[in-house]
């Protein structure tokens, strides 16, 4: 009986003293709500910090553009300066426009030369037409003469043909 009581006492002490696995399990369960609470606080408080990596300020801005493209040579205004309507803001470089003007003048000269060449060709065609008309007139005169000579009997029919 003493052994049975000793076993019961021994068993009771084993139950009263938790094992290492049970101790880890209880500590984990105790730390879980604390970790969840710390994570929630970090999420809520951490969201209060604002980052401005992609932020922009909303302000009254006006886009300025020209009717023609070009390279800006001079800017006559400074940042945040008040400007009036019609005020000169910037100047575009003239090089691009000078090149375009020179090209237009060259095209105009080339067209004028082409027109002159066409006039000369037309004059040649007119002179050729005048020469051909003179040849037709000569042939008509020769025909009329031969026809008159044939009627007078001065020329034979073979010569006339």
76 occurs within a structural domain: no
Domain of 42?
2-46
Alpha carbons 150 and 158: distance in angstroms, whole number: 10
Strand segments, DSSP code E, in the chain are 72-75, 90-92
Alpha carbons 122 and 113: distance in angstroms, whole number: 14
- So what's the pLDDT on residue 117? 94
91: β partners: 74
Query: Measured in whole angstroms, how far is the alpha carbon of residue 38 from the centre of its chain?
Result: 53
83 occurs within a structural domain: no
Tokens in use for 23?
Answer: 């101790």
Domain total of the chain: 2
146 occurs within a structural domain: yes
70 occurs within a structural domain: no
114 occurs within a structural domain: yes
62 occurs within a structural domain: no
- So what's the pLDDT on residue 144? 87
Q: Is the four-CA dihedral 68, 71, 74, 76 of positive or negative sign?
A: positive
111 occurs within a structural domain: yes
145 occurs within a structural domain: yes
Tell how strand 72-75 and strand 90-92 pair up: antiparallel
- So what's the pLDDT on residue 106? 96
Q: What angle is formed at CA 72 by the lines to CA 68 and CA 76, rounded to 5 degrees? A: 115
71 Cβ contact partners less than 8 Å away, ≥ 6 residues apart: 92, 93, 95, 96
- So what's the pLDDT on residue 64? 79
Average pLDDT per 10 consecutive residues for the chain, totaling 161 residues: 50 60 85 88 73 68 79 87 88 90 96 94 87 88 86 80 72
């Amino acid at each position: 009986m003493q052994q049975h009581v000793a076993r019961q006492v021994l068993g009771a002490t084993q139950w009263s003293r938790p094992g290492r696995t049970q101790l880890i399990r209880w500590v984990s369960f105790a730390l879980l709500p604390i970790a969840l609470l710390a994570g929630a606080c970090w999420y809520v408080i951490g969201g209060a910090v604002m980052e401005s990596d992609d932020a922009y300020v909303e302000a009254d801005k006006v886009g300025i553009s020209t009717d023609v493209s070009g390279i800006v040579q001079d800017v006559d205004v400074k940042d945040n300066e008040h400007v009036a309507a019609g005020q000169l803001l910037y100047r575009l470089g003239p090089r691009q426009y000078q090149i375009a003007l020179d090209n237009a003048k060259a095209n105009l000269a080339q067209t004028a030369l082409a027109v002159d060449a066409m006039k000369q060709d037309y004059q040649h065609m007119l002179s050729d037409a005048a020469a051909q008309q003179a040849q037709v007139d000569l042939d008509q005169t020769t025909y009329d003469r031969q026809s008159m000579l044939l009627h007078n009997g001065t020329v034979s029919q073979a010569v006339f043909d």
